Chains A and B, each alone.
Chain A
């Protein structure tokens, strides 16, 4: 791993600091609120868990004094803001029908997943506020164990719904909300791995390992480099077998196992936000290509290969691959390599590198480029230019009028 300092900075800026999110101000701001809410309210989670384990009530309050009230108050305000933001998110997704949420790859599970997360967040935040509301009432009625602690600027407005209940019932409510809240969080944490929501964890390593070079610099294929070196080296026996080592000599990628681990991590980090696709010139002009779909297909296929390996011990040919079964050649050939998708991605994903690796496979392993491109390439091979001109005429332009 090279340039660690730059990598930490990139992670701090892009993942922690959300620098790319704000390039779209509305969704960027809403996301910022949910993100900050998520991080800060997690501090309260620590106390909630401690109280549960030790049978205490607001264990941190005596240590923090009036600062404790401030903390609880800000958690409540944040929780309310998160609920509002999430409702706006839901509205944008379902009522405003913003284009990027309605591309064909968003049908079925991805759509459900996105909505499900929003519902989940509303429920968790509401449970947190409900728990505080009942706690507040219990504190005020001096129920045993419910010491006075905290300030509840939001949940005090929920208390009227509960005032008619007896202390016993209130305790039952308070405990139920506590349990639902904590088990909701545990369920949510397990759900992450099946969801685009995994980005809340992977955004960090993903931005850390993201490409730091200029975006125009495409990696020179190492297998090809070896081969070219061998061809140009007069001291090497041209008939010796190509690869003596165990390293694969396959050119490019036709399936997920041909991709590198950063590309695979990219696919699990993808938030399916579609910012890449909405900036893609091919997609904007109605082509099949959608960089988001490239990432979703990669993840889906990787899941399939993973299940295959779990079942068989090692990968058993299932007659499928990423190419053709998931990503069509038509999609791959529509890319202009413009890097708009890479620039747009808020978590540092590079869909273009997968497209390029798959093109390499198509051209070098399958010779299946579109005919026009084959002509272009044979022109370069024969006369050093993509068009059929004689290289001897290269300087004629200087004499033209």
Chain B
């Protein structure tokens, strides 16, 4: 698929409506790349003009900051802000709640002020504006449970946007024992994704997967590439991966619409 870069579009003298911040997982992780593609298909279907930074994008610095390396974080932020400001970017959408949180909350203080939205929010807006629609028969009657990513939910109070989309699919939305404000972490946040867990009696993702399995779902919906990995591993560990899929909301919509 052709994904335009901001450099290309700017060279044509145009300005896209929104910049898609792909993030490191969305760019390099095999599982998360599929989410990026699904989301691009949705953007194309809605005929919204967008661009990515491509090789000009660099890690937001989120994992460095949560690990305690504030120095590295701020260096990354300054470099990214310089690129973003040089293109006069005004609106950013991202499929990763960690990028979303960092760009939205921590960049302004360092000189990077943009309107930042999560992809589940943007898709809702596109639907509201009538730029595309979901017909909703593909997942009709399917049991879908939704896992709240900490950095989307508790950290930024976005609980409803993803849920609205699942309901649009005509699927049955199931809530886990811990949801919304009380959502249980998947275990990846705070840079845990990149290290072995400390000694304990269980891995966090297993605990969370058990909660998800208790709802007896067909699909576990996620809205974060890291949660997606953690939950997929959990489902595999429980040997349920034959029966239960872990899918990003963008993937659900893309396949519902046959994209």
**Interface on A for B, CB 8 Å cutoff?**
213-218, 220-221, 224-225, 227-228, 232, 251-252, 279, 281-282, 284-289, 330, 333-340, 342-343, 356, 358-364, 369-370, 372-373, 375-377, 380-381, 384-387, 389, 391-395, 397-400
A selection of 28 A-B contacts at a CB cut-off of 8 Å is A213-B105, A214-B104, A215-B156, A216-B105, A217-B106, A228-B74, A252-B70, A281-B184, A281-B207, A282-B198, A282-B200, A288-B198, A336-B150, A336-B185, A336-B188, A336-B190, A337-B66, A339-B155, A364-B69, A372-B196, A377-B72, A380-B76, A381-B72, A384-B59, A384-B76, A385-B28, A387-B24, A398-B36
Across the interface, which residues of A come within 8 angstroms of B129, CB to CB?
A: none
B192, CB-defined interface residue at 8 Å: yes
Across the interface, which residues of B come within 8 angstroms of A375, CB to CB?
A: 194
Across the interface, which residues of B come within 8 angstroms of A373, CB to CB?
A: 67, 191, 194-195
Inter-chain CA distance A224–B24, complex, in Å, is 24
| Chain B, 177-205, CB within 8 A of any chain A CB | 181-185, 187-204
Give min CB distance, B77 to chain A, whole Å: 8
Contact A389 B204 (CB under 8 A): no
Least CB separation from A372: chain B residue: B195
B27, CB-defined interface residue at 8 Å: yes
The residue that A369 contacts in the complex, of B1, B67, B70, B150, with Cβ under 8 A, is B67
Contact B185 A384 (CB under 8 A): no
Contact B200 A356 (CB under 8 A): no
Contact A340 B185 (CB under 8 A): yes
| Chain B, 189-236, CB within 8 A of any chain A CB | 189-204, 206-208
Across the interface, which residues of B come within 8 angstroms of A216, CB to CB?
A: 101, 105, 151, 154-156
Contact A363 B69 (CB under 8 A): yes
| Chain B, 4-24, CB within 8 A of any chain A CB | 5, 22, 24
Inter-chain CA distance A399–B2, complex, in Å, is 8
Inter-chain CA distance A343–B202, complex, in Å, is 23
Inter-chain CA distance A180–B76, complex, in Å, is 65
Across the interface, which residues of B come within 8 angstroms of A225, CB to CB?
A: 74, 110
The residue that A285 contacts in the complex, of B74, B75, B190, B207, with Cβ under 8 A, is B207
Type the 1/0 row for B33-74, where 1 means its CB is closer than 8 Å to any CB of A: 100110010000000000010110111010111111111101
Interface residue tally of chain B, by bracket?
35 or more
Q: A377-B72, A381-B72 are in contact. List 17 more A-B contacts (CB 8 A).
A: A217-B105, A220-B106, A224-B71, A252-B70, A282-B198, A284-B184, A286-B199, A286-B201, A289-B198, A330-B198, A340-B184, A356-B66, A386-B59, A387-B28, A389-B27, A394-B54, A398-B36
The residue that B27 contacts in the complex, of A287, A358, A397, with Cβ under 8 A, is A397
Across the interface, which residues of A come within 8 angstroms of B191, CB to CB?
A: 337, 373, 376
Across the interface, which residues of B come within 8 angstroms of A342, CB to CB?
A: 154
Inter-chain CA distance A335–B193, complex, in Å, is 11
Inter-chain CA distance A372–B63, complex, in Å, is 12
Inter-chain CA distance A377–B66, complex, in Å, is 11
Across the interface, which residues of B come within 8 angstroms of A335, CB to CB?
A: 190
B239, CB-defined interface residue at 8 Å: no
Across the interface, which residues of B come within 8 angstroms of A391, CB to CB?
A: 55, 58
B242, CB-defined interface residue at 8 Å: no
Inter-chain CA distance A192–B249, complex, in Å, is 51
The residue that B157 contacts in the complex, of A214, A281, A384, A389, with Cβ under 8 A, is A214
